[in-house]
Chains A and B, each alone.
Chain A
Amino acid sequence: MPRLSCWFVRASFIYLILGVTLGSLLLGHKGFSLHPAIWRLLPAHVEFVFLGWMAQLAMGVGFWIFPRFWRSRGDERPAWLGFGLLNTGIWMVAAASIPGAPAWLSLLGRLAQVGAVFCFLVHAWPRIKPSGA
């Protein structure tokens, strides 16, 4: 597995644990009304599970298994930038649900996520081709 895929996949596993932990707290709260503030964890739970776990795992595995150019995966720099932007964006959007967080934080996080996917796309687009082409 290439180094960047290891980073993507291991980060996705960490988000899985975080997402499931927050989800368990939310479900436990439904059963026992632990604390009203627990509902504020819902946006972070969704963010960690959808983008942190699933999208990040898909990107990591895609980087690993998409067809290569002979032995090279092409220019890896946009994909590395995508990794950084995606994780920055996830934490910005998750932090935006903290009371008192600036309103622009969520928007900036979403823009970082769009940038992440765009960077990954720049890297992966030429690799989506017939094998051996």
Chain B
Amino acid sequence: MPPLTRWFIKVSLIYLVAALLLGAALEARTLLGLPASVNTLRPVYFHLFMVGWVTQLIFGVAGWMFPKASPQRPHGSHHETRKLWGRLSSLPWDRLARRPPMGKSLPHTVYFHTSEVASWATFGLLNAGLVLRVISEPLGALRPGSIWGWLMALSALLQWLAGLAFVLNIWARVRVR
């Protein structure tokens, strides 16, 4: 199992425990007479479960189990990423965006080792975004219009980038054999 997959899986298990603890706290609110503001944690509970646990586990296992990019670089390769960029650059961008056509190849630095970097970036972005959400969403609900609103927007951006990085990175490994 590659190191990054181990990170994804172990962190996903921590989120599962956190989600279940939070679920228990939400259930115990009425029994223990906890304040109603505890309910602001309900969206956090759902997202700890579905993003922190399920999605993160999928990202980790997919990086490990999906068809290998090449024997030399099993979890991503310069070549595969170059092929993906090649496909992207062959799209009719000039017609779509009214820009000059892109070159047939991109500068070497653009795609060099993108796969490994993008995999770690996915992990970092997803977890930074989720932790930021766990902190900012309940506090933003209690104090609307404060700095927490900005942090919620930043959390949204980080998680969106994580999804995009994962898909762009693994797309070339989903192929017919």
Chain A residues packing against B (C-beta within 8 Å): 1-3, 6, 9-10, 13-14, 16-17, 20-21, 23-25, 27-28, 30-32, 49, 53-54, 57
Contacts and interface: CB of A to CB of B under 8 A. Distances in A.
Given A2-B176, A13-B171, A30-B140, A20 B54 contact: no
Contacts of B163: 16-17, 20
Interface in B118-177: 133, 136-137, 140-141, 148-153, 155-157, 159-160, 162-164, 166-167, 170-171, 174-177
A28 B155 CA distance: 9
B160 A24 contact: yes
Given A2-B176, A28-B152, A17 B137 contact: no
B160 A57 contact: no
B160 A20 contact: yes
B4 interface: no
A13 B172 CA distance: 12
Contact of B148 (A10, A16, A25, A31): A31
Interface of B: 50, 54-55, 58, 66-67, 133, 136-137, 140-141, 148-153, 155-157, 159-160, 162-164, 166-167, 170-171, 174-177
Chain A interface, >50% SS class: helix
B171 A27 contact: no
A37 to B, nearest CB: 17
B160 A21 contact: yes
Nearest to A4: B176
A10 B160 contact: no
Chain B interface, >50% SS class: helix
Given A1-B174, A1-B177, A16-B163, 11 more contacts: A1-B67, A16-B167, A20-B164, A21-B160, A23-B156, A24-B156, A30-B141, A31-B153, A32-B149, A32-B153, A54-B50
Nearest to B50: A49
Contacts of B171: 10, 13
B175 A1 contact: yes
Nearest to B155: A27
A10 to B, nearest CB: 6
A6 B167 contact: no
